Amino acid sequence: MQRLNRSAEAVRGCGGSQTRPMQRRVAQHIVWKGTPKDARKKFVDRQRSLVEVLCHTGSMTRKLKDLTESEMSVDRDKVKGLDFKWEPFGMELLQKPVLNRQILLRTTSDIPVLYASSWWNADKFSEIMTNPELPMWYNLKKNGIDSTPDIHSLFAIDCPSLTSCFGDTSEVHLGREYTLRHHGIAICIIIEVLSNNLYQFDKFHHLTQA
């Protein structure tokens, strides 16, 4: 696989192990799913750099800030009405009531680089996300909360509405699903999908160099 914007059918034909059967409302959009180890074996060239970003165990906001050499801003308006549904893994870890937050992260030059959807206990969200107009990492840092992502899976997804949000030409994008934990306790459940707009940043291309 040389390019991420090859057809979804071509990605399906490549096979690849899956961590568990897909029984989600967006199953028709999922074209590959597996572990981080599976992804490192499957994806090459520029796609491998996307995988390395998704396997990062620190703050995704901080990682993207470093790669783009830009501050990240939150865009919640762009994802309103987005035709993207996901039934998250591990919802039993969150106390009810549960709320969902969907955002795009953009650079200061207005380039979309990431879509994120997160599920929270409503009280925990109010406690941690004291300024929801800022990325999650800034809120965690402000409140002195150390966190670690427990990655469930990486996936490749074919979703035209995401392509439209990103403003790129790719049919398929890579993402991850994980539980964010603080001292072993689940804070929230998150999916993140990277935009292929990352290809235009110089630092991105050095991720897999020896």
Q: In this predicted structure, what is the pLDDT of residue 208?
A: 67
Q: How many domains does the chain have?
A: 1
Q: What is the pLDDT of residue 48?
A: 92
H/E element holding 99?
strand 98-106
Q: Which two tokens stand for residue 190?
A: 């998150």
* 4 domain-assigned: no
Residue 110 covered by a domain: yes
Q: Are 63 and 53 in contact (CB under 8 A)?
A: yes
Q: Does 163 map to a domain?
A: yes
Mean pLDDT of 116-141: 94
pLDDT of residue 87: 79
In a domain, 164, yes or no: yes
Residue with tokens 């906001």: 61
pLDDT over 90 at 28, yes or no: no
pLDDT of 1 higher than 80: no
pLDDT tens, position by position, 144-183: 998 989 999 999 999 888 998 999 888 899 999 999 999 8
Assigned domain for 11 exists: no
Is residue 83, in this structure, part of any structural domain at all? yes
Query: Looking at residues 114-135, what average pLDDT do you find?
Result: 94
Is 164 or 9 the better-scoring residue by pLDDT?
A: 164
pLDDT band at 14 (very low <50, low <70, confident <90, very high): very low
pTM of the model: 0.84
- What separation in angstroms does the CA of 79 have from each of 52, 56, 162? 25, 25, 9
Q: In this structure, are residues 210 and 190 in contact, taking their beta carbons and an 8 Å threshold?
A: no
Which structural domain, as residue segments, surrounds residue 187? Answer: 24-200
On the question of pLDDT at 105 being above 90, the answer is: yes
State mean pLDDT over 75-85.
82
CA 175, CA 10: separation in Å to the nearest integer? 18
What's the rounded Cα separation, in Å, for the pair 58 and 31?
27
Confirm whether 126 is domain-assigned: yes
- In-domain check, residue 1: no
We report the CATH number of the domain holding residue 48 as 3.40.1410.10
pLDDT of residue 209: 61
